[in-house]
Structure 1
Amino acid sequence: MATAATMNGQQAFAPVLSALATMSSNADRSQKGQAHQYLEQFQKSEEAWSATFAILHAPQSSDEAKLFAATTLKGKIVFDFHQLPRDSLSQLRDTILALLATYAKGPKPVRTQLAVCLANLAIQFLEWKDVLPTVIRTLGSDPASIKCALEFIHVLPEEVTEGRKINLAEDDLINRTRELLEENAEQVLQLLTQYAQSSPEAAKEGILMDCITSWIREVPLANIVASPLMEVVMSALQSDDSFDAAVETLCAIFKETRDVDENIETIKALYPRLAQLQPRIKAAAEEEDWETFKGITRVFAEAGEAWVVLIAREAQQFRALVESVLECCLRDHEREALSQTFNFWYELKQYITLERYMEARLQFVDVYSKLVDIMIGHLEYPTPEAGGSETDLFEGDREAEDKFREFRHQMGDVLKDCCEVIGVTECLQKSYVLVEKWVGQYGPQAQEGKVPHWQKLEAPLFSMRAMGRMVP
C-alpha cells in the first residue's frame, strides 16, 4: 500500500503543499481563505488517503506538511473509514507501522499522530486480534523504534475511551474495548516494567510515565503500586526530564484511591512513599526551584484531597500529610503553588466541621491557626526594590496586578474556611494584633502621603474585611 499510495498521491501532492505554504505565508486574507477551503475539501476527499502517504514518504516534505498529512490521516481513519475496502486494512496497518518506524526519531508530533492513527485503526479493524503483540513485534525489538511502541501504548486507552466518535456498533465497541484494554492490561504492566528495567535512562523517560498514567484505570491499581513501576515513578521525581510526567502519574494514582475504603491497603502502601518527599519542600524552596516546588506542592495537595475523609477519620495518623501541605503554603515565597492547596483546605474544613469529626477538628485547630498567619502574610502587596515606584508595584504589568487582586480574594475564602474551624473571634484577633503591632512600630512615622511599610498594615485590614463576613 505504501508504494501505491506514494505513486497515486503525487497528483494531489503539489497543490496541498502549495496551499499549506500559502497558509503560513504573508498572503492576503482572500488567498488564505481559498487555501483553507481547498485544504478542507482535500481532507474530505478519497484522494486524501493516497496523498497523505505520499507526503509522509516524500523526503522534501516540510515538518509542517508531514504533521498536516498525519493529522489528515487520523481524521480519515476516524470519520471516513467506510471509504476503504475491508481487504485493504492489513496493508493500511502495515504501512502505518512502517511509517512509525520511519519517524521513530521525530518529529515527535508526527510520531504521536501516527500512533493515534494506528490506535483508531485497531479499534475498527475488528479482525485484527493480536494488536499488542503485532505492535511490539514490529516496533519493540529495535531500540530506535521502541518509543513508537510506547507512544501507541500511551494513546490507546484514551482513543478507545473516546471511541464513541467512531462509527462502530455499540456491541462491537464494548467487545473491542475488552479485547484492547482489559485483556491486554497485565501484558502492558509487564512490558512497561521490562522497559523500565532495561536501562537507567529508560526508567527516567517521560513517555514511560505517560504510559503508566494512561493505563492506571485499566490495570488494577494495587498491582501497579505493588510492582517495580511504583519505585520507578518515585525515582522519576528526581530527574528534571521526567519530573513533570512523574507528578502527573502520581496524582493520577491518588485520584484512583478516592474510594478510601476500597483502596485502604493501597493507600497504606503509598503513604510512606509520599512522606519521603517531605524534605523536598524545603530543599526546592531554598534552591528557589519554583517549578519543582510547584510539582511537589501539587503532589501533597492532591493526595490530601483524595484521602480527605481518611484524614478526618484518622487525624493523628495523617497529620504529617496535613502539615506537609501547610509547609508548602509557608515556603511558597513566590506564591506560585499556593492556589493548588486551596481546595484541600476547603474539603478538609467541610469534613472536620461535622459533629462526627469533632476530634479531628480539635487535632487541626493549630494547623488552621497557622494557616491564618500564613495567608495574611501572603496577602501583602509586593514591596518595591530600592528606587522602585511606590505607586506602581507591578512595574506596569496590569495583568499581573489584576491576577494578584483576584488571588487575594481566593486567599480571603481560605481565611473564611479557617474561621469555620477555629472561630471568627480567634481569626480576627490575629489580624487585630498585626494592626496593633504596625501602629506601635510605624504609626509615629506615618504622615500625609507617606505611610511606611503600608503593606504590613493593609494585609491584616484586608483579612479583617474578608473574615468579618463570617461574624454572625
Structure 2
Amino acid sequence: MLCPSVEAVSQFYSNSDHKHHVHTWLTKARVAKEAWAFVWELLEPQKSEQVQFFAASCLYQKITSHSHEVSASDYEVLKKKLLEKFVAFSEGPKMVFTRLSVALASAILQTLPEMWPQSIANLIETFNPTNFPNVSERNLCKALLEILTVIPIEFFSVSFIQYRRGVIKNTLNTGLKDVIALLQRLISASPTDVQLEVLTCMNSWVEFGIPLNESEQLIIQTFDLLHKPELYESSADVLCVVFSHPDSHRFPYTIQKLSPHILELQPVLKTLIEERKLEECAPICQLVMAIAETHSKLILNSFISSDETQQQNSLNLIYMVMTCTGLPGYFPVDETSSQLTFNFWYSIQDELVDVGVNVNSHLMPIFHEIYSKLTEILLRKVQYPPESEYRLWSSDQKEQFRCYRHDIGDTMMYSFTILQDFLLPYLWTVLNTSVQNGEQWQVFEGIFFLYTAIAERVELTEKTYLPALLNFLPQVPITHPILIATTLGMIGSYAEWLNWNPNILQSVIPMLLRALQNTEVVTPASLALKDITRETHDHIHPFADQILTACWTMLEKNLKSKDAVRMMAIAGHVLSTLNFTDIMQYLDKLLAPQMWALSQLAKEEPNSTVQDAIVQKLEMLSWLISTITSERGETEEVVQENHHQNSSQSNPNPVLVIMQRVAPILQDLMIKWTTNAVVIQSVCELFRKTLRALMDDFAPLANDSFQMFTQMYHAYPHSAILGIAKHAILMFHRDETLQTSVKELLGVLTVKSLTVLHNDFREHTDIVEGLMNLWAQIIKKSRLLVSTQGDFDLESLFQSAVLGLALPETFTIKASAYFLQEFLIMGNEVPWVKELIQKYGGDMIIQVLKAIEGGSSRTALDQFADLLLCINKHQIDELTKFVSNLNKTCLPLAMQTMEQREQFCRHILREKSNRRKVREFVKEYYMQCHGLIGTEYGNQWAQSI
C-alpha cells in the first residue's frame, strides 16, 4: 500500500537534502487510490499540523480530479467523514480548516445535482447545534459561513465542461433563498466577528450572482453596518460589489430604491472632510463611484423621466461624485480617491451625447452647470503643491501626480463637448483675475495645462479668446521652470490653430526662441517649435532666418541627444520653405560642424561613448533629411518653370547634396564600426529616410550605396541591411544602368544569408524573416530579375523557407509563408521553379501539417491556412499527390486519428477560394490535435477567433 509516513511528510516540509525525492514520492501517493483511505489517518488530532495539511490537500486533489474513483454508494460515507473532519477542525489549525473547506466545497459541486440536490439547505440544517453538541455555537456558525463562502469561489475556480457548469449554477441558484435568509438572520443579531464572516460570505455570493430584488433587505442591513467602525470598510466593500456587479443593470428599480441609502452618507462624508479624515473618506467614495459609474445611463435617464424624486436623487448623487472629485489636499499624498471619479465624468458626457437631440437640449442646461462647477474643481486639483511640500514627495508620488494630471486633462477634453461656450471665456477670465491678484505660479500653470488639454477640441476658426491668450502671455509672470514648460507645451498644442491664424506667430515665435536660451526648458521649447514649424509651413518663411540662426547657435552647445535631433528637425521644416540657393547657404552653416564632428568620430577607437555620439549625429542627419524636401519653398511659378527646364539645368535635391557630402564619411565610419549592430541600424535608417525623400533621384548614389551595403553585410549580416536593400532593389530593379549592381547586391545578400543560416538556423530568425520578406517582394514585383535559372540559389531559399515555418516567432513564420506563396505562384509561369516545387513540395506540406498538429503557436494558424489555400489554388497536383500518399508519410499522430487527418486534408482540397473557410478548418483541426474540442478553454478560444 502506497501510504506516506508521518516522517516522509515532515521531511518534505523541512530543509532535508532528500526533499526532491520525497516530493516525487508524495506526489505519486496523492494520486494513488489508497489515498482515499490513508488521508483520514493523517487527519487524526495527534498528528502534526504539516501532516494534517498534507492530508487535507491530498483529499482536495482526490475529490477535484479523481472523484470518479468513488462509487455512488461510497459517496455518502465520504461526505459524512468530510463533514465530521471539517467541523472538528473549526477551532484550528486555520490552514488545515481552510483546506478542508475547499475540499468539502469541491465535493458538493462534484455531486450536484444528482447526489446532493438540496446541498445548501442540507448544509444549513446539518450545522444545527443539536447535531454537534461538543462544538460551540459560535464556532459552528463560523464553520457554516466558511463553507458557504467557499462554494461560490470554488465554482469559479474548478473547470467543468460547459453543460455541467450551467447545471451546477442552476442548482446553486435554488439554494440562494436559503443563503439570503440565513445571512439576514445572522447579520443583525450576531457578534461583530460573526457579522464580519457574514459580510465575507455575502461578498462571495454577490460575485456569484444574487438577484438584487431578492436581497434588498440584506443590502439595507449592510448599509446599517457602515456606522459600525469595526465593519465600516468591509461593509462598504461588499456594497461596492453589489452595485458594480454586471447583473445589477437588470434591476433598475431596486437600484433607485436603494440609492437614498447612499445619499444618507453625504453628511458623514462632509464631516470626515471637515475633520480632514481623508483616508476614511475612501470607502464612501468607492461606494458612491460603484453605483454612479456602473449606472450612469440610469442616472441620466432619471432626468428624462417625470419622477421629480428620482431626478433629485440623481442630482444629489452626481454632486456626491463631485465632492469626491474635489476632496481637499493633493493627490496622491493627502487623498487617493478623487481619481476614481474620472471615468464617471467621461461616461455621463458620453451618455449625454448619445441621447437624441431633443432630449439633449432639455438636459444640457442641467449638465452645463454641473460641468462648470467640475471645471472649477479640476482647476484646483490640477495645480502643483507649494514647492516646500512638493520637494518632499517621493519619485513614485510625483509620477502618480503626473498621471493624475493627465487624467484631468482627458476629463477636460471630454467635458469640452458640454462646455464649448463656457470653457474658453472661463479660463480667460480666471487668467486675467489671477494676474491682477498676483497669484502663485501654480495657478497660471494649472490654467495653461487646461488650455493644452482642450487644444484639439477648439475650433480652428476661434478668433476671440485664443488670440487674446497668446498676445497676453508677455504680461503673465512666467518665471518658474515648470510654468515655462507648460506654457511652451500649450503653445505647441495650438500649432494647427496657428496655421489658420498666422498673424499670432509674430507674438509666439520670439517667445519660443527666447525660451530656447534657457537650458532648463530647451526640451519643451524645441518640442513646441518643432510642432509649429511643421504645421505652419506656408507662414513660417518670414521667421526663417531667426529660427535657423537659433538652431545653428543651439547646436553649438552641449545639448541632450533628443534636443539636438529636434533642432535638426526644426531646421529641416524651415529650410523646406526656402529656395535652393538659400537652403544651401544655411545648410553649409548647419552641416559643416556636424560633418566635421562625425568625421572625427570615425577615427576614434570604438567604445560606448563614441558609439552614442555617432548614433546621435546619424539620427540628426536622418531627421534633417526627413523634414527637408526640394522646391517646397519656391513659388508656384518657379516650380512650373523648373518643371520645363532641362533636367541638367535643374537644381539638385538638397537631400542629394547632403548625402553626397555624408557618403565618404560613412565609408570611413564603417571601416571600424562594420560589426556594431547599433551603428548599422542607424546607418540603415539614414539610408531609408534618404530613399524615401529622393525616390528616383537616389540614382546617383545607388552604385556606391549598393557597394557599401555589400561590404556591411559581408562583415556583419544584419536584418536592417536586408530591409534597406529591399527598398533600394525594388526602386531600381527596372533601371537598366543599375541592373548589374542590383543583381550583384541581391546575390551577395542571398549567399551570405544562406551561409549564416546553414551554420545556425534557429539563432538567426531575424535574418530568416528579413531574407524571406526581401525575396517575396522580389518575386512579386521583379520576377524577370530572378527568372533565369542558376542566377540565384532558389532551391536553398525554398528549403530555408520551409524550415522557417517551424520557428517559434510568428513574424518569421509569416515571412516564410509569404515567400512560399509567391514562389508557388511563380511556379505557374517558370518551368524550372515548378520542378523545384515538385521536388520539395511534400516537405513543405509535411511542415505545415506538423506546425498545425502541434509544432507551432496558434497565433500563426492564419499563415498556415493561407499557405494551404495557395498550394491548393496554384499547385493542386502536389497537394493531391501528397494526400493520396498520406499513410506513407510516417508523420506521427498527436491526439488526432488518421481519419481526422485525412478528413482535414479533404476539406482543404475542396476549398480553392474561400479563405475564411480554410482558416476555420485549420483552427478546428488544431483544436482536435491539442485535445481542446469540448473543453471550456477550447470553447472560449473558439469563440474568440
TM-score for both structures, normalised by structure 2: 0.42
1:33 and 1:319, CA in 2 relative to 1: closer, same or farther beyond 3 A? farther
Work out whether residues 438 and 457 of structure 1, in 8 Å CA contact, stay in contact via their aligned partners in 2.
yes
AA matched with 2:219: M
In structure 1, what is the equivalent of residue 226 of structure 2? Answer: 237
Residue 65 (structure 1) shift: 6.4
CA–CA separation in structure 2 for the residues paired with 1:314 and 1:171: 40
In structure 2, what is the equivalent of residue 267 of structure 1? Answer: 255
In structure 2, what is the equivalent of residue 253 of structure 1? Answer: 242
1:49 and 1:415, CA in 2 relative to 1: closer, same or farther beyond 3 A? farther
Residue 319 (structure 1) shift: 0.6
CA–CA separation in structure 1 for the residues paired with 2:344 and 2:245: 17
CA–CA separation in structure 1 for the residues paired with 2:175 and 2:19: 46
Q: What is the alpha-carbon root mean square deviation over aligned residues?
A: 3.3
CA–CA separation in structure 1 for the residues paired with 2:29 and 2:430: 68
Q: Given the alignment, which residue of 130, 140, 147 partners 2:142?
A: 147
CA–CA separation in structure 2 for the residues paired with 1:422 and 1:54: 73
In structure 2, what is the equivalent of residue 340 of structure 1? Answer: 340
Residue 300 (structure 1) shift: 1.1
CA–CA separation in structure 2 for the residues paired with 1:400 and 1:174: 46
Q: Given the alignment, which residue of 180, 184, 189 partners 1:193?
A: 184
Residue 96 (structure 1) shift: 2.5
CA–CA separation in structure 2 for the residues paired with 1:81 and 1:140: 28
Secondary structure at 1:340 match in 2? helix
1:222 and 1:454, CA in 2 relative to 1: closer, same or farther beyond 3 A? same
1:255 and 1:14, CA in 2 relative to 1: closer, same or farther beyond 3 A? same
Residue 185 (structure 1) shift: 1.9
Residue 48 (structure 1) shift: 5.4
Residue 171 (structure 1) shift: 5.0
Residue 11 (structure 1) shift: 3.2
Q: Max radius of gyration: which structure?
A: 2
2:83 maps to 1:97: yes
Residue 249 (structure 1) shift: 2.6
AA matched with 1:194: R
1:41 and 1:263, CA in 2 relative to 1: closer, same or farther beyond 3 A? same
AA matched with 2:343: N
In structure 1, what is the equivalent of residue 447 of structure 2? Answer: 460
CA–CA separation in structure 1 for the residues paired with 2:443 and 2:458: 24
If asked which structure has higher relative contact order (CA below 8 Å, sep 6+), I would say: 1
In structure 2, what is the equivalent of residue 3 of structure 1? Answer: none
In structure 2, what is the equivalent of residue 448 of structure 1? Answer: none
2:375 maps to 1:372: yes
Work out whether residues 353 and 361 of structure 1, in 8 Å CA contact, stay in contact via their aligned partners in 2.
no
1:328 and 1:55, CA in 2 relative to 1: closer, same or farther beyond 3 A? farther
In structure 2, what is the equivalent of residue 75 of structure 1? Answer: 61
1:300 and 1:54, CA in 2 relative to 1: closer, same or farther beyond 3 A? same
Q: Given the alignment, which residue of 401, 404, 407 partners 1:404?
A: 401
Work out whether residues 104 and 147 of structure 2, in 8 Å CA contact, stay in contact via their aligned partners in 1.
yes
1:311 and 1:361, CA in 2 relative to 1: closer, same or farther beyond 3 A? farther
Deviates more, 1:284-293 or 1:265-274: 284-293
| Map 1:314-463 → 2, pairs under 5 A | 314-315=302-303, 316-317=311-312, 318-333=314-329, 334-354=334-354, 355=357, 356-385=359-388, 392-394=391-393, 397-423=394-420, 426-442=422-438, 453-463=440-450
Residue 287 (structure 1) shift: 3.6
CA–CA separation in structure 1 for the residues paired with 2:138 and 2:45: 24
Work out whether residues 284 and 293 of structure 1, in 8 Å CA contact, stay in contact via their aligned partners in 2.
yes
Residue 195 (structure 1) shift: 1.9
Count of residues in Structure 1 that have an aligned counterpart in Structure 2: 434
1:314 and 1:127, CA in 2 relative to 1: closer, same or farther beyond 3 A? closer
CA–CA separation in structure 2 for the residues paired with 1:383 and 1:186: 56
CA–CA separation in structure 2 for the residues paired with 1:147 and 1:87: 30
Residue 92 (structure 1) shift: 2.6
2:23 maps to 1:20: no
- Render the CA deviation track for 1:228-259: whole Å, top value 9, x for unaligned: x2332111112233223322332233235877
Work out whether residues 55 and 65 of structure 1, in 8 Å CA contact, stay in contact via their aligned partners in 2.
yes
Structure richer in helix, relative to its length: 2
1:70 and 1:420, CA in 2 relative to 1: closer, same or farther beyond 3 A? farther
Residue 111 (structure 1) shift: 3.4
Residue 421 (structure 1) shift: 1.6
Residue 218 (structure 1) shift: 5.0
1:112 and 1:416, CA in 2 relative to 1: closer, same or farther beyond 3 A? farther
TM-score for both structures, normalised by structure 1: 0.80
Work out whether residues 4 and 26 of structure 2, in 8 Å CA contact, stay in contact via their aligned partners in 1.
no
CA–CA separation in structure 2 for the residues paired with 1:237 and 1:104: 28
Work out whether residues 352 and 358 of structure 1, in 8 Å CA contact, stay in contact via their aligned partners in 2.
no
In structure 1, what is the equivalent of residue 133 of structure 2? Answer: none
Work out whether residues 419 and 427 of structure 1, in 8 Å CA contact, stay in contact via their aligned partners in 2.
yes
AA matched with 2:379: I
* Structure 1 stretches lacking a partner, 5+ long: 1-7, 444-452
